[in-house]
Structures are given as C-alpha cells and as structure tokens.
Structure 1
Amino acid sequence: MRSPTSINPDKMGCQLLWVFVILTLITIGEGRRSIGGACNPNDLKGLRSFKAGIRSDSSGRLAKWVGPSCCKWEGIYCDNTTGRVTEINLPGFFTLDGAPFQSSMEGWLSPSITLLTSLEVIDLSGLIYLTGNIPPSIGFRLPKLRKLSLFSNRLSGPVPETIGKLSKLEEIYLHENNLSGSLPSSLGNLRNLKRLDLHSNRFSGAIPDSITDLTNLVSLDLHANSLTHRIPEKIGNLQVLEELDLSNNSLCGRIPVSITNLTAISALYLDTNHLEGEIPFPSSSGQMPSLGFLRLHANLLTGRIPAAFGYLTSLQRVSLSNNKLEGPIPSSLGKLSSLTELYLNGNQLSGQIPGSIHQLSALLILSISHNMIQGPLPYEMSSLQDLQTIDLSFNRLNISSIPKWLIGLRSLSRIYLAGCGLRGEIPEYLQSTQISLQELDLSANHLTGSIPEWLGSFTQLYSLNLSGNSLVSELPTSITNFGYLDNTFSRGIQQIGKGVQSGIQYLNLSHNSLKGRLPTSIGQLVSMQSLDLSYNELGSDLPVSLANASSLETLKLQKNRFTGRIPDGFLKLGKLQELNLSDNLLVGKIPFGSPLSDFPKSSFIGNRGLCGKPLGSCKA
C-alpha cells in the first residue's frame, strides 16, 4: 500500500506541465496586454492624436489614458518583445462589470492613428458618433494589419485604393457607415482576406472583377448600397465562400452560371436587385451541397423554377417571390426535406400545387399568393402538421369552401385565402377547429350570410379581414370578445411583444353590406391599431366609447350612414395617422384640436351637416 506521502511521478509530470502551460499563457497575455516603461514615441503620438480628436467618450476609457506608458492604457495591447502597440480595441459595445454596455464616442478619426506601424488589430466599431475618413496612409504604414473593424459609425468618403497593400488583412468590417464611391479594385490584392462586410453604406458603381481573386474569402456582404452593373462572371472562383450577400442594390444582368462553383456556400442573398434571365442553378446533383438559405426575391427573373431544384437538399429557407417566374411548381421540391419556409408569391406560376409537397414535413411557412395556381388543392397537404402559415391568396383556385383538412392542421395559426373563389356562408366547421387562429384573411371572395357570433371564440385572433364580400346583417357584438394573447410568433413573423397582453389589432370588414349600429363595446379593444368598416350600411351615432381605443392608428368609416356629432373624445386618439369619416350623415362642429384638426378636408367631406376646421367655419 502506498504511503500518504508518496508521489506519483506521472501525475507530478502532468501537474508541472499544466503549471508551465498556465505560466506561458499568463506571460503571453501580459506581453500582449501591457509592459512597463515608456511607450514608443510614434505610438504615443498617434494615440494622443486619436484621443484629441474625440470630444466625448461615454465609456470613460479615454479619460484613463494618462502618462507615457500607453501599453497600460485600457484597450491598448502591446508586443512584449518590441514594446510596440499591436491592438487598439475600443468597441462601443463591451462588457462592464459583468454586464453588457453600449458606449459612444463623439469626434473624428485622426489619420495619425497610422503612426502605430505595428498595429495588427483596429477595433473602433459601434461608437455611433465617430466621423471622419479612412486615411489613405493606412495602406503604407500598417503592413501588419490583420483586422479592421470600424462598423456602425458615421465615417464617410471612399475606401482608399491603398487598402489593397495590406496583404495580411483577414477581416474587414466597415458596414453601417456613410462610406461612398466605388469599391477599390485593389481589394482583389488581399489574398488572405476571409471576411468582407461593407453593407449599408452608399457605395455605387460595379462590383470589381478583381473581387473574384479573393480565393480565401469565407463571407462577403455588400447589401444595401447602390451598386450597379453585373455580378462578376468569375464569382465562382470563390470556392471557399460560405456567405454571399449582394442584396438591396441595383445589380442587373444575369446570375452568372459560375455561381454553381461555390461549393462551400451556405447562404446566398441576391434579392432586391434588377437581375434577369433564368435561375441557372443547380444543373446537376451535388452542386452547392451546403446551400441552406437562398433569397432571390424582388428581381426580374423569368423562366421556370428549375426541375433540378430538388438537388439542393440542404435548403431550409427559399424566397423566389416577386419575380416573373412561370410554369408549374416542380414536383422535385418535395425532395427538400429540410425546408421550413417557401415563398413563391408574386410570380406567374400556373398549374396545380404538386402532391409531392406533402414530403416537406418540416415546412412552417408556405406562401404562393398572387400567382395563377389552379385548384383543387392536393389532399396530401393535410400531412403538413407543422405548418404555421399558409397563404394561397389571389390564385385561380376556385375552391368554393375552406377545405376541412386545412383547419385540421394542428399548428396552423395564420390562414390567408383572399381572392380564392370562396362562396356561401362562413362554414360552421371552422368553429370546431382546434387550431389557435391569430390571423384570418378571407377577403375579396363571394361570402354571403352574416358574420357568425362564434368568431369571438377565437381568443388569440389579432387580425381579421373579411372585406370585399357580400356579408349582411348587423355587426356582431362578439367581435369585442377577442381575448388577450401572449405572442410567441416564430420564423418570418415580426414579434409584436412577448408577454405583452394584446387583443385584436387589425379588423377589416369593409366592402360588405353590414347594417345596424357599431357596438359600444368596440372601445374595449384597447390594442386595436387599425379599424376599417368602410363601404357598408352601418348607421346611428358614432359610439363615444370608440375614443377608448387609444392605440388606433387607422380609422376608416367612410361610405356608411353614421349620424350625429363626432364625439369630443376622439381628440384622445393621439396615435391616429389615417382618418376617413367622409360620405356619412354626420353633423355639427368638428371637435377642434389635434389629431382631428390635422387631417385634410378629404377625411370629412360628404357630410353635409359638418363644419369647422379643416372644413368651412360654422354658421352662427
């Protein structure tokens, strides 16, 4: 038996190794962080000039920059051997006392920063109010620079052509500034560059062909500029590229066929441009095997959706909407087993929805609205039990009634069937559904009969559109029964506010033949933002309680038969941005004050008994 004082030599060696590693890391960290003694004169001069250009620093870090030992200053890192400054690390967003903190610096970027000729990292990102230009001397004086991060500031002017001399640059982040001019062709000289993010500036002109020489580039983001001309034909040279975002520019021409050479691409965003021609990829199996996110919407693309689209088996989200695509939806889309979102709306697609769509078991959002798709809907769609949103509006479906299998989809919460040829009354079996409806749009159909009282039982409904039908009878009081909800919307739907109690927010029953009074309980809908009851036959006085709907931004009651005065309480509708009470039977003086007095005459005309601003003055 081993004595308590005996030592295992293997264990001791292991412990000594860890001590050595820890001491080494500490030494490296200290050497990178700070050293004793005075700062290199040029480094000191450059840092002091930078500080002099800053009028205010909400973080208080620059106030601690005192004395000659700049390597001990906050945000400054030095090389232990040479004593030269290697990093300026002063991002606006950082951790302070264990909590995230957003700071700002107001002032300008001094060109003297290039006096620090051993710099490897410059991070002055997210300082919000930092102005000035990227100094042209950056290319001559900072040969060791690996990372340049100046995003989310107010820098202006061009990216200097000299940036191409920084041969060791691996990362450039200049997005969300006011930079302008053409992209320098010298960018193609940065053969070690892996990430280039220039989005949300004011760059114009063409994407330089030289950018295809950046064969180590992993991420390229140029969206939201004013770039024009074509995508470089040799874009496929960037074979290690994983993310390419050229969206929201003015790029024209065709998508280069060479784009299929992007074998590592996982996210491709070319939307919101002027691209034309057919979709050139994929042409065979195995191309672009990692592509998961594809956005080509809002272009001028023509032709058919390639039958080979099914080869892109990694696709999760696809948007081809708002183009000029035609022909049938290829059945090969059923092979995209990972697909969660599919947007094909706003094209000229025809034929029927292929039965193979039932294979998309992970599908959450399906949008095919504004096409020429014909019915019937394939019953196979009833297997899409994870589907949350379906939009088939404005096609040539002529489905007559809402399919019973559709309301049996357990996860469905948003149904858009506007302009689909629905006829007859709103079906009773909709009442028995177990789904939790949040949005329902049955507008622009041929629905008849009355609005059923049981609609009020959909306690999570926040958007209801039954406009453009032939519904009759009185407006049911049950519309004010819509309860409160805790919004937990997922993919593709903007969060309205988790945990915020909110009743119905959008109610559109316009262009029907509804009669009777507007229920006084309408004022209980305190979260309602838009109410459109125009083009009906509603009458009697405007309920005073409507003034309690304090969130109203849009109120459209024109072309009805409302009588009496406009309640003074309407002056409490401070968020109102759109108002139309025209062509009714209202009388008396319009209550004076904002917001009513701020609207034009067109909001009140057609009421012969109304007077006061903005109409003519009232007679004594």
Structure 2
Amino acid sequence: MGCHCQMLWLVLASVMVATVEGCDPGDLKGLASFRGGIHMDTSGRLAKWAGRGCCRWQGVACNNRTGRVTEVHLPGFISTTDFVFQSQMEGWLSPSITLLTSLEVLDLGGLVGLSGRIPTSIGRLENLKKLYLYGNKLTGPVPDTIGKLLKLEELHLHENRLSGFLPPAIGCLKNLNVLLLHSNGFTGNIPGSFSNLTNLMHLDLHSNSLSGRIPENVGELQLLEEFDLSENFFTGEIPVSVNNLTSISVMYLDTNHLEGEIPFPSNYGVMPMLGFLRLQNNQLSGKIPPNFGYLVSLQRVSLENNKLQGEIPSSLGNLQALTELYLGGNELSGVIPKSIGRLSRLIMLSLSGNSIQGPLPDEMSALQNLQTLDLSFNSLNLSSIPRWLAELPSLSRILLAGCGIEGQIPDLLRLTPSPIQELDLSANYLIGGIPAWMGNLTQLYSLNLSRNHLSSSIPASVVGFEVLGVLDLHSNNLTGSLEHVFKIGTSFPGGSLTYIDLSDNSLTSGIDQIGVGTLERLEYLNLSHNLLEGQLPTSVAKSTALKCLDLSYNKLGFGLVEGLANLSNLETLKLQRNHFTGGIPVEFLNLKNLKDLDLSNNLLVGEIPAGKPLSDFPQSCFTGNRGLCGKPLSPCKS
C-alpha cells in the first residue's frame, strides 16, 4: 500500500513539474500575444521570454500546485542595488492578456509608451487582486466588466489618458481594498454604485476631469482610509455623510469647485483618525466649524483660498498634534485666538490675505517649534515687530508683508536664535536705509523689502548674503550704485541669485558690473525705472540662464550688445525709453524663445533684421526710433 502511494505521488509530482515546465496553453497564448503587441522594450525583459516554460520567464510567477500563471510583474521602474531607472515599453496592451484566468497580480505600471485600452474581457480575471496600469498611455473608457473583479484589492490607473466614465458596474467590486485612478483623463460623474465598495480602503481619483457632485452616500465606505478627489471639477457641497468615515486618515478634496459650508465634524469622536486634510482652492463659504477642534488627530490642515468668513475658532487650540495650518486667502476676521499658543508642535502657520486684526496675542510666544510665520496682508497694524516674535527659537521664515510696520528695519532681527532664511517686510512703511548688519544674515535665501520708503545706498555688506537666491527691493528710494548686488553669492559655484528686482528706485551706476560676478543662475533681472547711465557691458552674455531682462526707463546708451543673442533662454527683453544707438544686431534672430520685446523710444537706426522672432512683434515694439525701418515699420528707402 505504501509503495502504491509513493508511486502515485511520483506520478503526480512529474505531472506538476511538466505543467510548470510546459506552461498552461491559455497562459502561454496570453503572454505570447502580449509580447507580440510590444515593439520596443528598453528593459530587455521580453527578449528573454523564450520556450514554453513561462513560469521561469522574468516577471512571471506561477502557482506551484496548479502551474497556472498568478503574477505578471513588468513595472516601468526597475530597482537594483545601485540605482533606479524607468524602462519603456512601446506598443499595445493585447486583450489576450485576459486569457491568464488565474492571474492575481498584473503590474504594468509606469510603462510610459504602453497604449491601447483596458480590454472589455478584463472581467474574466476573476481572481485578480491587484491591477497596476498607471503611468501609461492607455485610452478609452474603463469597461463595465471590471465590475466582475470581485476579489480586486488594488486598482492603480493613475497618470494615463483614459477617457470616458467610471461604469456603475465597478460598484460590484465588493472586495476591493485599494482603488487608485488619479492623473487620468477620466470624465463624468462618480457612479453612485461606489457606495457598494464597502471594503474599499484607498480611493484616489485625483488629477482627472471628473465633474458633478461627490456622491451623497460616500459615508457608507466605512473602511476608507485615504480619500483623494483633488484637482478635478467637482461641484456642489461636501456630503454630510463624510462624518461617517470612521477610518479616514487622509482626505484631499482640494482644487475643485466645491461650495457651501464645511459639514464636519458633527460631534466629538467623528473622524478620530483624520490626520491630513486639504480643502484649499475651492469656493467653500461660512465659518470654520466651532467643532473643528474635535478632529484631535489632525497634523496638516489647509483651508486656503476659499470664501470662509468669521473668526478663527478657539477650539483649534485643542489640535495638539497639529504641525501645519494654512488659512490664507479667505475672508477671516477678528483676532488670532490665544489658544493658538497651545499648538506646541506647530511648525507652519499661514494666515495671509485675510482681515485679521491686531494685536498679536503674547501666547504665541509659546510656539517654540514654529519655523514659518506668514501673517502678510492683514489688518494687524503692528507698527513694530513684537520682541517675542524675534525670540522664537525655531523661527526662520518671517513673512509680515502689508502688516503696517513703521520705522526703520528693527535691530531685533539682527541676532535671532534661528538663522533667518526668508524675510518679507514688503508693502509696509519702513524708512531709513538697509542696515549694514543685514549682511551678517548668511543663511538668508529670500529678502523682500519692496514697496517701502527705504532710502540711501545699498550697503557693501550685502555681499555677505552667501546663499541669497531672491532679492526684491523694488519701489523704494534707493540711490547710488548697484555694483555690490552683482557680487552676492560669488563664493557659490555659478552664483546663488536667481531673481533680482531693483526697479522703481533712483539708482545711478553699477550697470557695468552685470555679468562680472557669477550670475550664471540668474533668471530674472529688473532694473527698470531708475537713473542708470552708461553702456551695457558685453559680460551680460555670461548670465546664460536669463529669461527676463528689463532695463527700460533709464539713461543707458551706446549700441545694443550682440552678446544678448547668446541668452538662448531669454523670453522677455525690455530696453525701451533709453538712449541706445546703432542698429539691431542680426544675431537677435537667434533669440528663438523671445515672447516679449520692446525696443521703442531709443535712437536705433537701420533696417530691422528680417525673420522670426523679430517679425512676430508689433510696430509698437520698435516705434520712437526715427532711424529704424523695415517690417513691421515702414519699408526702408533705397
């Protein structure tokens, strides 16, 4: 008897080995058809698919007992011990892939050249648990038959160009645990049948063209943990039923056209796990709910750019886990509640662009971990910066534009506990000069003192700004030379500055220093509406990253520098209202990216070089130069 059983086991084992070695005929046909639809595979994986032993092919896995193919892993992103790279497959997704009826995992994500459609026969894959078709070029609708995949746990279709709508049949996927469809071209409404997906844990439809209302019964998805409908065209109100999402931890409904009031939380204990909430860039109105403080797990909240009114509720002080709070761009009024001082973990607070009044509560001095404070453009009427603000131990980004600050730039910013990295005091009533000690702020990467009443010259100490990337001093009464500006960041390879705006001042000299320093990273330079004299130096051609150069409304003269034509990234060139002489260099025809040009009201002569991009600009860009002729001006006289 024992011998008989042993022989039977050997026979069965040999059959299993033969099955695994030979591959199920249906599976083999499906894989072969898939390979036949691909005409380029940069990973080289499909080139190794040879013979009939498909279970040994790269990216294919089989069930050891049945010999059937259960997994196909051919993702675009391939990781090795040394690096990660993205491969490509160009071709069509063959419908024959659905012949693999025992398939549990199909991963073709990130194959940027894969096109075609999700086959209507997809419903045959009744054992499918995970489907990854994101980051491809698939088109067409999501077929109704996908609703037959009752074992599906994860569906990733993001970053395609899929069209059509999500069929009601998708509501049959009752065992679905993860559904990711974001960054596609899906249109239409979310089917009401989504409420049938009671095992759904992740629902991600962001970056599509979906419209209509969020289904009223969305609250029936009791296991939903992540809910992302951002960057679509949803309208109407947020359903009250979201209060029933007891497992929700991430909710992103931002960048839509949602309106009405925020309907949650209705009571204490609602959404106890919600940690990340984004509702910005909608049309939400009413007040921030007084019960908002019941959302005790919140870590990051953004309600920016809506139409919210009223006072900031004091209950926000109960959000002990909160690290980031964005309320800017609304119509909030009243004062900042003292309870804000209880948010001991807060690192980011943005209240800009509201109608919040002063004074600032002293309790804010307890925000020991605060790194960024943005109170810009409110009705604070601060007059001066509170001393406690400059003593916050972690504060490195101070944004107080349009807050009514008066007097000179306060010395209390000289020795802050944490090095200042960004300082915005624009649109205030500052007077006096830029203090020499500011050059000691060596970690500063953005400085905006524009639209004040600052006078005197730019101090030589600004060369101490070792990593400064943005310098905005426009609309002041600054005089003297700007030469020190072009020496900022000289210790940094290629320079550190990317943005300089010194327009609308009374600067007179230093134009000859452009390009002498290391300004290879500079993209924006605006020196317009000053009193600058002299000649534009040839060294300006070294600023090869320049996209915008505005020297208009000065007293610059001599000829146009041919080297400007080497600025291949230049999109804006404004030189009007100066004293430039000579002709327009024919090399200017090399400025292929030029979109905005103004050479009007100078002393230029000769024929305008014929051809694009110069021929694309209207007469107004060249008028006021009595010696200029040729298209688009009057023809030159022979």
Alignment TM-score, normalising by the size of structure 2: 0.84
Matching residue of 1:507: 500
Matching residue of 1:229: 212
Aligned partner of residue 111 in structure 2, secondary structure: coil
Letter in 2 for 1:423: E
Matching residue of 1:361: 344
Match of 2:24 among 30, 40, 63: 40
Match of 1:604 among 589, 599, 618: 599
Q: Alpha-carbon deviations, 1:248-294, whole Å to 9, x = none?
A: 11111111111011111110000011111111111221111111100
Distance 2:220 2:31 in 1: 40
1:609 deviates by 5.1
1:603 deviates by 2.8
* Cα gap change, 1:476 to 1:550, in 2 (>3 Å): farther
1:590 deviates by 4.2
Letter in 1 for 2:517: Q
Match of 2:121 among 106, 126, 137: 137
Q: Alpha-carbon deviations, 1:405-451, whole Å to 9, x = none?
A: 22222322222222222223222333333432222222222222233
The answer as to whether partners of 2:445 and 2:469 remain within 8 angstroms in 1 is no
Match of 1:85 among 54, 65, 69: 69
* Cα gap change, 1:461 to 1:586, in 2 (>3 Å): farther
1:374 deviates by 1.3
RMSD: 2.8
Q: Which moved more, 1:555-564 or 1:515-524?
A: 515-524
Is 2:443 the partner of 1:460?
Answer: yes
Distance 2:584 2:450 in 1: 28
Is 2:419 the partner of 1:431?
Answer: no
Matching residue of 1:382: 365
Is 2:535 the partner of 1:551?
Answer: no
* Cα gap change, 1:242 to 1:36, in 2 (>3 Å): closer
Match of 1:117 among 101, 121, 126: 101
Matching residue of 2:226: 243
1:461 deviates by 2.1
* Cα gap change, 1:98 to 1:81, in 2 (>3 Å): farther
Is 2:529 the partner of 1:535?
Answer: yes
Distance 2:533 2:298 in 1: 53
Match of 2:432 among 449, 467, 480: 449
Distance 1:104 1:596 in 2: 34
* Cα gap change, 1:248 to 1:341, in 2 (>3 Å): same
Matching residue of 2:355: 372
Letter in 2 for 1:507: I
Is 2:289 the partner of 1:296?
Answer: no
Letter in 2 for 1:389: T
1:346 deviates by 0.7
Matching residue of 1:573: 567
1:375 deviates by 1.6
Matching residue of 1:16: none
Q: Alpha-carbon deviations, 1:285-332, whole Å to 9, x = none?
A: 111111110000000000111111111111111110000001111111
Structure 1, unpaired ranges of 5+: 1-30, 488-498
Matching residue of 2:587: 593
Match of 2:46 among 49, 52, 62: 62
Distance 2:296 2:81 in 1: 46
The answer as to whether partners of 1:400 and 1:422 remain within 8 angstroms in 2 is yes
Q: Which moved more, 1:422-431 or 1:186-195?
A: 422-431
Structure 2, unpaired ranges of 5+: 1-14, 471-491, 615-621, 630-635
* Cα gap change, 1:449 to 1:273, in 2 (>3 Å): same
Letter in 1 for 2:564: F
Letter in 2 for 1:358: G
Aligned partner of residue 449 in structure 1, secondary structure: coil
* Cα gap change, 1:112 to 1:365, in 2 (>3 Å): same
Matching residue of 2:198: 215
Match of 2:305 among 319, 322, 326: 322
Is 2:513 the partner of 1:520?
Answer: yes
* Cα gap change, 1:596 to 1:84, in 2 (>3 Å): closer
Letter in 2 for 1:116: L
Residue-pair matches, total: 578
1:351 deviates by 1.1
Alignment TM-score, normalising by the size of structure 1: 0.86
Distance 1:178 1:601 in 2: 33
The answer as to whether partners of 1:471 and 1:513 remain within 8 angstroms in 2 is no
1:546 deviates by 4.3
The answer as to whether partners of 2:569 and 2:593 remain within 8 angstroms in 1 is no
* Cα gap change, 1:114 to 1:555, in 2 (>3 Å): same
1:56 deviates by 1.4
